[in-house]
Amino acid sequence: FEAMLDRKMEITFDNTFTRNAFKNLAFNFVGRRKIYYIISTIIIVAGIGMYFKNGGLNLGVDFKGGRTYLVHFDKGVNTEDIKSKLTPVFGDETPEVKTAGEDSQVKITTTFHIEDQDIKTDKVVEDALNKGLAGSKYEIVSSQKVTPIIASDIVNGAFYAVLISCVFMFIYIVVRFKKWQYGLGAVLALAHDVLMVLSFYTILDGLMPFSLEIGQDFIAAILTVMGYTMTETVVVFDRIRERLKEAGKEDLHGEERNQLINFALNSTLSRTILTSLTVFFVLLVIFIFGGDSIRGFIFALLIGRIIGTYSSLCISTPIVIDLGSSEEKKK
């Protein structure tokens, strides 16, 4: 690279296939924003419907408390058979048994004796597990215990992590761009992303060949997605501010503002899509070749990456139009 610079050679970062990609685009994001709102509403409503149909979210042991055992068998097993064998030994308390990856590996979750503080309780529960699985060749790969008190603390911590993130992002946008509409638009986009990812999780739960549990790793994925969305939204807002500065105006109204926002979205479309695809392909490789233990986490990031890109283009910036319109009507 340095040798090319020394010889004053022309250095390019594209090729014949990508050189003219995304140039001279004129998508009417603002004009179609109500279509995007309807699409998001349909998905979120479907997610709410599946939430009630499934009896709530598929919470992991982190959020509901209990003991989880990852058990590997020498051959494929039926989860209902495992459940029926374990129920009597767990004091007639039905455990949760789910396939973890391949059909010869299951995740068993139980609240049997979870509130018992005796140091021997762990062995008592594991002995009961071994008794229920007697007659099968298996290996307990890993185990995890979370008490109800700790689970409650984790739930509260996750809620406040998302809430505080939204508050600080709102303050940052308002201070940087001097408009509360930008801040509220960005935060509404973040809330939209969280609801969309949760909706896809509830809709796809049970349909995917791996567990879609909501645990601490899911919260980490949500916060990561929020960060990506905010970054892309700030880039678009920066382009709007640059354009206003060039025009020597503080703000535009009506059709002029619509054209400005469409220009900002189209001029940053190349960066948004290429950045998103770069991250998406990396995540896709990890999803395919990574282990079962991180597959749910990576899946949340994959969905979140798609939703975040859609949100930054179709929700966060166009919604500024509606927030600005409501302010004008008040005046």
Cα–Cα separations (whole angstroms), residue 153 to 63, 71, 148, 156, 215: 9, 28, 9, 5, 13
- 286: tokens are 């990890």
- Predicted TM-score (pTM) of the model is 0.73
Report the first-to-last Cα separation within the chain, whole angstroms. Answer: 58
Domains and CATH numbers, the chain: 33-58+151-330 (1.20.1640.10), 66-146 (3.30.70.3400)
Contact 72, 223 (CB under 8 A): no
Tell me which of 30 and 324 has the higher pLDDT: 30
Q: State the Cα–Cα distance between residues 137 and 76, nearest whole angstrom.
A: 11
Give the rounded percent of residues in the chain with a pLDDT score beyond 90: 7
pLDDT in tens, 187-203: 888 888 889 998 998 89
Burial class (CB in 10 A: 0-12, 13-18, 19+), 193: buried
pLDDT in tens, 72-114: 888 888 888 888 888 888 887 778 888 877 788 888 888 777 7
Q: Which residue has the tokens 């801040």?
A: 183
